Amino acid sequence: MMKKTSTLAISFTLASALAVTGVQASPLAGSKDNTCTSSPVKISSTSATPTSTTTAKSTEAQLAKNKKLVLNMYKDIFNDHELNKASLYIVSNYKQHNPLAADGRQAFVKFFGSYLKQNPNYKSEVKRIIAQNDLVVVHNYVTTGAKDRGSSVVDIFRIKNNKIVEHWDVFQPVPEKSANTNTMFPAKGTPVEVTPLSPSEVQANAKMVRTFYDDLFNKHDVSVINKYIAEDYIQHNPTVPTGREPLNQFASFLQSNKNSSNKIIRVIAEGDIVVLHSWSRMDKNDRGSAVVDIFRVADGKIVEHWDTIQAVPEKSANKNTMF
């Protein structure tokens, strides 16, 4: 089963040769067939009216508030280890999708508190944060000490009434060696906040990325690689060389694995970044992997890609699944 899941991870993270063996569940607190909890904003073809401008500003203010809430939580809880402040950020009936933790704020505090006793130097460095509607995505670099290569962790939080009400995460250790020199994170100096784009541009980016992903991984149409991927594409998956050409070598794998599929659970987009949270399987009997792919788009092409992959475990401490 582990070998099968590993092969699947290859197919659904853009030609990865990743071996999932040894991947642990994230210590950070994060089903049913969910679609994105927040539908994409519908864009009017008419010019902006005073009302629509006011609404846009209100939406931007709420997204900024949601991101500030999450960033403050990272500081107080994940980096300063002040678990007594959990009630400032998390509702009591918090819904948990991390398979190692049970539902509820108190369960999170108990679980993470126990982890901190074993790993007192735990730190989380936020590399990027994006938000859309009631969802906030954080791509962070987690370490437990100076000698730890660390892990790539993507957390997805749902916010309601200025509190975190639900959480998903995907966790992957940083390997010793990589097929490229880009690391699993944004390049040094990249702002944590993404550059804003117009709602219509964000919607177009999200639609393009979703179309590419579905056509490649579910319809197995490899022609979309040259159509949607820039030639100088920057690859951050540690098992794949940078550039577009390595992806074209993926065609034979897709063609010989007709039962493989990648179900997109949710799409979150802001600025030039599009995030896909998906369930990757070789066939209907495979538990598969939870995958978060992060794409950067420029001039109508996918120009950069990061991903984090975690095998779905046989058992979970909650009934919500990783999706």
**Among 25-29, 176-180, 205-209, 275-279, which stretch is predicted with the lowest mean pLDDT?**
25-29
Query: How far is it, in rounded angstroms, from Cα 219 to Cα 5?
Result: 20
- Give the pLDDT mean for 277-283: 96
The alpha carbon dihedral of 242, 208, 71, 105 has a sign of negative
Write down the pTM of the prediction: 0.86
Q: Please state, rounded to an integer, the average pLDDT across all residues of the chain.
A: 86
Q: What pLDDT band is residue 51 in, cutting at 50, 70 and 90?
A: low
Helix residue ranges, H only, the chain: 2-11, 50-73, 86-89, 105-118, 199-217, 224-228, 245-248, 251-255
Q: What is the pLDDT of residues 138-189, one digit of tens each?
A: 999 999 999 999 999 999 999 999 999 999 999 999 999 999 999 999 999 9
Residue 95 pairs with which residues in a beta bridge? 166
Which candidate, 224, 164, 209, 197, places its Cα nearest to that of 306? 209
> pLDDT at position 129, please?
98
> pLDDT at position 192, please?
97
Q: What is the pLDDT of residues 232-243, one digit of tens each?
A: 999 999 999 999
Q: What pLDDT band is residue 256 in, cutting at 50, 70 and 90?
A: confident
> pLDDT at position 258, please?
87
HSE on the CB side for 113, CA within 13 Å? 11
Of all helices (H) and strands (E), which one includes residue 129? strand 123-132
Q: pLDDT: is 118 or 6 the higher one?
A: 118
* Residue 197, pLDDT above cutoff 60: yes
Residue 266 pairs with which residues in a beta bridge? 277
- Residues of the chain above pLDDT 90, percent: 78
Q: What pLDDT band is residue 113 in, cutting at 50, 70 and 90?
A: very high
Query: How far is it, in rounded angstroms, from Cα 214 to Cα 129?
Result: 25
* Residue 48, pLDDT above cutoff 50: no
> pLDDT at position 207, please?
98
Residues with Cβ < 8 Å from 200, sequence gap 6 or more?
43
Q: What pLDDT band is residue 14 in, cutting at 50, 70 and 90?
A: very low
* Residue 1, pLDDT above cutoff 60: no
274 contacts 36 by C-beta, under 8 angstroms: no
Q: Tokens in use for 320? A: 């919500």
> pLDDT at position 37, please?
37
Task: Report residue 267 CA to chain centroid gap.
Answer: 9
